[in-house]
Amino acid sequence: MKKNTLVLLGGFIIAGAIVFLLMAATPGSSGIELTLKDLLATQDEHKDDFVTVEGLLIEDSIKWNPDKIELKFDVKDNEGHIMHVIHNGPKPDNFSEGVITILQGSPTKKDTFAAETVKTRCPSKYEGKDMKNYDPETHKDKLNQPPKEK
Q: Closest Cα to residue 57, out of 8, 11, 32, 91?
A: 91
pLDDT exceeds cutoff 70 at 101: yes
pLDDT exceeds cutoff 80 at 97: no
CA dist 90 and 75 (Å) reads 17
Q: Is the pTM higher than 0.75?
A: no
CB 107 within 8 A of CB 50: no
pLDDT of res. 16:
93
Buried b (16+ CB within 10 A) or exposed e, 49-76: bbbbbbbbbbeeeeeeeeeeeebebbbb
Return the C-alpha torsion angle 121, 122, 127, 128, nearest 10: 180
Mean pLDDT of 112-129: 72
pLDDT of res. 113:
92
CA dist 74 and 18 (Å) reads 38
Q: Determine the 3-state secondary structure of 112 from DSSP.
A: strand
- Give the rounded distance of the alpha carbon of 136 from its chain centre: 14
CB 22 within 8 A of CB 30: no
pLDDT one-digit tens code per residue, 12-49: 999 999 988 887 776 555 578 888 888 888 888 888 88
pLDDT one-digit tens code per residue, 35-90: 888 888 888 888 888 889 989 888 888 898 989 999 999 999 888 889 999 999 88
